[in-house]
């Protein structure tokens, strides 16, 4: 009788989970839940940071100053003017370069242009005024810069009968040494109408014909 009872008790103990294991399992489950919860929190933080970055970028772009219109920005160009090839390397000759500003249908009252020689053997030796009566007088220029094969011309007028469209505003006399093409960099820094408002314009140069 006692033996039967002992066998039944042993069977019951065989299916009973030890308390230590139960604690360990519960601990593991809690630990896994905490890990998943932390992962979700981290993902939420990352997502929040990403949203903050996007919002900050949108705000900064909306507050950034608008870019200046392209046609009012400084216009810089490289221009090549042809020259004779049948002259000696040390031969000296003289040419005149006409400077044109095209302000479209807007009257031109002021301008500032810059011309720089990009090839050796070029020396700026003189400045004349332009064709319209408003710019017939020689423009202002920096005589010191001329010694470095570079000149800045500027002129303005408060008179009437201002030119519009393409007009010759100045003529530059140069001394050239040697044959071949001469290269120049041109820059239009200012083009304005009577009230000082900037107007879009284009600068061009070419060899004077007469």
Domain of 123, CATH number, reads 2.60.40.680
pTM of structure: 0.65
Residue 23: pLDDT above 90? no
- What pLDDT band is residue 57 in, cutting at 50, 70 and 90? very low
Q: How far is CA 190 from CA 135, 153, 162, in A?
A: 15, 10, 16
Please give the C-alpha separations between residue 144 and each of 98, 155, 181, in angstroms, as whole numbers.
21, 18, 25
Residues 19 and 89 in one domain: no
Number of domains in the chain: 2
One domain, residues 112 and 156? yes
Residues 14, 79: one domain?
A: no
Could you read off the pLDDT of 155-203 as tens digits, one per residue?
999 888 899 999 999 999 999 999 999 999 999 999 999 888 999 999 9
Helical H segments across the chain, by residue range: 2-14, 19-63, 143-146
Average pLDDT over residues 106-114: 96
The answer on 123 and 23 residing in a single domain is: no
Whether residues 57 and 74 fall in one domain? no
Q: Are residues 84 and 102 in the same domain?
A: yes
Beta strands in 44-142 (DSSP E): 75-81, 92-102, 110-117, 122-128, 140-141
DSSP-derived 3-state class of residue 164: coil
Answer with the one of 11, 35, 63 that is the final residue of a domain. 63
More confident residue, 115 or 36: 115
List the Cα angle 86/87/91 in 5-degree steps: 175
150 lies in which domain range? 70-207
End-of-domain residue from the set 63, 90, 111: 63
For residues 25 and 42, state if they share a domain.
yes
Q: Which of 63, 83, 116 is the last residue of a domain?
A: 63
Task: Quote the distance between the C-alpha of residue 54 and its chain's center.
Answer: 24
d(CA 116, CA 203): 14
pLDDT 10s digits, 29-40: 554 554 444 444
Q: Residues 52, 89: one domain?
A: no
pLDDT at 133: 94
From CA 52, how far away is CA 41, in angstroms rounded? 16
86 lies in the same domain as 184 = yes
120 and 179 within one domain? yes
Kindly state whether residues 16 and 91 are assigned to the same domain.
no
């Amino acid at each position: 009788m006692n033996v039967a009872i002992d066998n039944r008790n042993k069977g019951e103990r065989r299916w009973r989970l030890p308390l230590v294991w139960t604690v360990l399992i519960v601990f593991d489950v809690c630990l896994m839940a905490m890990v998943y919860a932390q992962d979700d929190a981290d993902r939420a933080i990352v997502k929040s940071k990403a949203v903050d970055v996007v919002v900050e970028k949108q705000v900064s772009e909306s507050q950034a100053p608008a870019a200046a219109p392209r046609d009012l920005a400084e216009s810089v160009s490289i221009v090549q003017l042809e020259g004779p090839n049948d002259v000696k390397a040390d031969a000296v000759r003289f040419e005149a370069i006409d400077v044109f500003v095209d302000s479209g249908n807007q009257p031109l009252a002021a301008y500032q242009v810059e011309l720089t020689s990009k090839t050796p053997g070029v020396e700026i030796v003189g400045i004349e005024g332009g064709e319209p009566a408003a710019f017939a007088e020689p423009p202002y220029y920096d005589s010191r810069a001329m010694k470095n094969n570079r000149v800045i011309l500027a002129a303005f007028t408060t008179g009437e009968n201002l030119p519009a469209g393409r007009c010759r505003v100045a003529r530059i006399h140069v001394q050239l040494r040697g044959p071949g093409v001469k290269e120049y960099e041109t820059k239009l820094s200012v083009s304005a109408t009577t009230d000082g408002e900037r107007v879009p314009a284009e600068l061009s140069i070419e060899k004077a014909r007469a």
